[in-house]
Amino acid sequence: MEVIDLRSDTVTKPTDEMRKAMAAAEVGDDVYGEDPTVRKLETIAAEMVGKEAALFVTSGTMGNQVAAMTHLARGEEVILEAESHMFYYEVGGLALLAGAQTRTIQGEKGFMPPELIAQAIREENIHFPRTGLLCLENTHNRAGGTVLTPEQISAMAQVAHDRGIPVHLDGARIFNAATALGIDVRELTAPVDSVMFCLSKGLGAPVGSMLAGRKEFIEKARKNRKVLGGGLRQAGILAAAGIIALEKMVGRLAEDHYRARLLAENLANIPGLTIDPAAFPTNILICSVAKLGISAQHFSTLLARHGILANPTSPTEIRFVTHKDVTEDQIKRAINNINQVVKGVNHF
């Protein structure tokens, strides 16, 4: 049976060009700063997001956590959106690794009203922790790949900067955001102090993410990466694929968005499923199965029997993610199979 994997863009496999570049990569010991391919990737990455320096890390989670460890002193408070990846999906790393206390704000599609951020920032008081960091996420995963505009990012960052608080951007899918807006990614990264973005999601590299920021910040971050066991040796093998991800794969993300739109519009026509296609501007869709009268987990199991893989994100919602390894034809077959599953559930 053909399997169409819509669980995540993390499932993408490296391209042939990446595999060839990996095999041919010039390497050295990166802990000594001697891997030319890693250095090249870090230079390209920093340039692309308009920052002084960048650091290759093994995963998005590591990039975010290293950023938090580098910005924060232990016992400080970090402000972040209530559904953000750093709060929701990073295994409590902010508490465990950065020793930080979290203060969440319920946002709207990832946007936190600046006045709520201002209210959450702590005054000086002997009882209070110091607010040490504001984190943003673009695109916002749990909101369904929603996009923050440069104006929204600036408005949020400004409130923190006015009080001397740095801003970190979880930009795991920042190139999806820039693609959806039709702007240079630097417009989205200029207002923040540090940004993490992933090579191994829609961009197709097998492993790795980048953390970018000012030179001194990245030097400190390099040491924090080492603490976590992330000081890699001949990592040029991985960086070689990352370079292709940045140079060749950004331009095709619009295809993933187009396919997500096609899928969303068709799901919207299936009675029993609820989705507003206009709410999902990039490659992530969240669809409610509440009207079907079965749990999202059960629906996911039924889909898997028809070769469609998709993850539940709540008891009533299921997430579909498009990516380079799912063709337009496969999306059409997925629509057909999803329809069959819904018809099988009951009167739908």
What residue ranges bind ligand TLP (CB under 6 A)? 8, 10, 59-61, 64, 85, 89, 137, 141, 170, 172, 198, 209
Write the CA distances from 159 to 117, 120, 150, 153, 170, integer angstroms: 7, 11, 15, 10, 18
| Residue recorded with tokens 């953000």 | 84
Question: Nearer Cβ to ligand TLP, position 270 or 286?
Answer: 286
Question: Nearer Cβ to ligand TLP, position 179 or 339?
Answer: 179
Question: Nearer Cβ to ligand TLP, position 59 or 288?
Answer: 59
Q: How far is the CB of 70 from ligand TLP (least distance, A)?
A: 16
Distance of CA 159 to the CA centre of its chain: 23
Starting from the edge strand earliest in sequence, which strands make up the sheet with 194-198, in order?
53-57, 209-213, 194-198, 167-170, 131-137, 77-81, 101-105
Distance of CA 179 to the CA centre of its chain: 14
- Closest residue to ligand TLP, judged by C-beta, is 60
Q: Give residue 150's identity as a one-letter amino acid code.
A: P
Helix (H/G/I), strand (E/B), else coil: 103:
strand
With contact defined as beta carbons under 8 Å apart, do 102 and 95 qualify?
yes
Q: How far is the CB of 207 from ligand TLP (least distance, A)?
A: 9
Task: Please give the sequence-ordered ranges of beta strands (E in DSSP) within 86-191, or none if there are none.
Answer: 101-105, 131-137, 167-170
- Identify which of 206, 337, 330, 188 has the alpha carbon closest to the alpha carbon of residue 259: 330
User: With b meaning 16 or more CB within 10 Å and e meaning fewer, what string describes 229-263?
Assistant: ebebebbbbbbbbbbbbbeebbeebebbbebbbbb
Helix (H/G/I), strand (E/B), else coil: 108:
strand
Question: Nearer Cβ to ligand TLP, position 28 or 149?
Answer: 149
Question: Nearer Cβ to ligand TLP, position 12 or 15?
Answer: 12
Question: Nearer Cβ to ligand TLP, position 137 or 255?
Answer: 137
CA angle 200, 227, 30 (to 5 degrees): 60
Q: How far is the CB of 287 from ligand TLP (least distance, A)?
A: 16
Residues paired with 5 in a beta bridge? 309
Q: How far is the CB of 197 from ligand TLP (least distance, A)?
A: 9
Q: How far is the CB of 250 from ligand TLP (least distance, A)?
A: 17
Question: Nearer Cβ to ligand TLP, position 57 or 292?
Answer: 57
Q: How far is the CB of 124 from ligand TLP (least distance, A)?
A: 32
Question: Nearer Cβ to ligand TLP, position 60 or 230?
Answer: 60
Q: How far is the CB of 96 from ligand TLP (least distance, A)?
A: 15
Q: How far is the CB of 76 from ligand TLP (least distance, A)?
A: 21
Strands 167-170 vs 131-137: parallel, antiparallel or unpaired: parallel
Question: Nearer Cβ to ligand TLP, position 78 or 270?
Answer: 78
Distance of CA 65 to the CA centre of its chain: 13
Q: How far is the CB of 163 from ligand TLP (least distance, A)?
A: 25
